[in-house]
Structure 1
Amino acid sequence: MTGFIAVVLYVVWMQLLTLSYAFPRVPMALFGGRKFSDWERAEVNRDPAFMVRAKGAHLNCVENFPLFAGVVVVAALMGKSPVVDSLAMFILLARVGQSLSHLISTAPAFVLSRATFFLAQVGMIFWICFQLIV
């Protein structure tokens, strides 16, 4: 898998997470007695637990995406795409693993799993950076 394909799949994953918490809001607003404006950031969150976790998983993706996309682009500009390509699939899999852990539960084992997947991504991105500058 190339770094560019991994970036595109990462975006697809973020969009799926967005739909998982945004799409259920439409019928809730249309038929469930919730106003469309109930989802402003300043309001108390009354979403079901899964939707709260899905939004958190999406926001975690958004936090890390610029770093991953940045090293993919920089590697390509430097003519060193193979450095990223060797780890791109593993970074994407770690991201999906982190998101799934977030979606499943907030129990300590899943929080630890989530942190492990996150640290794996951070470590791989650091490794790519190191490989690009040496």
Structure 2
Amino acid sequence: MTATSVALLGFVAWLIFLVLSLGIVRTSLVMTGKRAANSFNSSGDDMAPFGYRLTRAHANCYENLPAAAALLLYAMATGQTEITNGLAYIFLGARIAQSVAHLISTNRSFVLIRFVFFVIQIAIMVIWLLSFFGIV
């Protein structure tokens, strides 16, 4: 298994972990009678702070998955994983670290930390894209 395929599967696994975690939080609220099953806002703004952060971390993952998946799948489909392999684990680590920072807090320091991890991911995807075009 290449680093590229590990990064793709790791991203998907992380997304599934977040959605399952969100499901557990919401199910526990329903099962304890604190909320009706059909009463949750998709934004998560009607939940306790951790539930809101979890909702937003999950949404941020699925918002960014298409671009990352497209680049990683392109590399695999065209036999160019040598372009993505070198930064694949850093990319996945930055993705997970961004989510973890989001889950911990939304205070200014953690928002800045989260932003740094986001920028790392975007920079890596730009490097991959430019490399596919032979620019870098």
TM value normalised by structure 2: 0.90
**Deviation at 1:40?**
4.2
Count, aligned residues: 133
2:84 aligned with 1:73: no
Q: What CA deviation, in whole Å up to 9, does each residue of 1:30-55 have, x standing for no partner? A: 2223111111449x843111011011
Q: Does the C-alpha gap of structure 1 residues 133 and 36 become closer, same or farther in structure 2, counting only changes over 3 Å?
A: same
User: Any idea what SS the aligned residue of 1:38 has?
Assistant: coil
User: Any idea what SS the aligned residue of 1:47 has?
Assistant: coil
Residue 86 of structure 2 is matched in structure 1 by: 86
Alpha-carbon distance in 2 for matches of 1:87, 1:31: 44
**Deviation at 1:20?**
1.8
Alpha-carbon distance in 2 for matches of 1:121, 1:79: 22
Alpha-carbon distance in 1 for matches of 2:104, 2:41: 25
Residue 4 of structure 1 is matched in structure 2 by: 5
- The unaligned stretches of length 5 or more in structure 1 are none
Q: Does the C-alpha gap of structure 1 residues 125 and 99 become closer, same or farther in structure 2, counting only changes over 3 Å?
A: same
Residue 34 of structure 2 is matched in structure 1 by: 33
**Deviation at 1:126?**
0.3
Contact 1:20 1:51 in 2 (8 A): no
Instruction: Please tell me the root mean square deviation across aligned C-alpha atoms, in Å.
Output: 1.6
User: Any idea what SS the aligned residue of 1:39 has?
Assistant: coil
Residue 97 of structure 1 is matched in structure 2 by: 97
Answer with 101-110 or 66-75: which moved more.
66-75
Alpha-carbon distance in 1 for matches of 2:42, 2:105: 23
Residue 54 of structure 1 is matched in structure 2 by: 54
User: Any idea what SS the aligned residue of 2:38 has?
Assistant: helix
**Deviation at 1:77?**
2.3
TM value normalised by structure 1: 0.91
Answer with 47-56 or 24-33: which moved more.
24-33
Residue 108 of structure 2 is matched in structure 1 by: 108
Q: What CA deviation, in whole Å up to 9, does each residue of 1:58-99 have, x standing for no partner? A: 111111111111111111222211111111100000001100
Alpha-carbon distance in 1 for matches of 2:121, 2:42: 28
- The unaligned stretches of length 5 or more in structure 2 are none
Contact 1:3 1:85 in 2 (8 A): yes
2:22 aligned with 1:21: yes
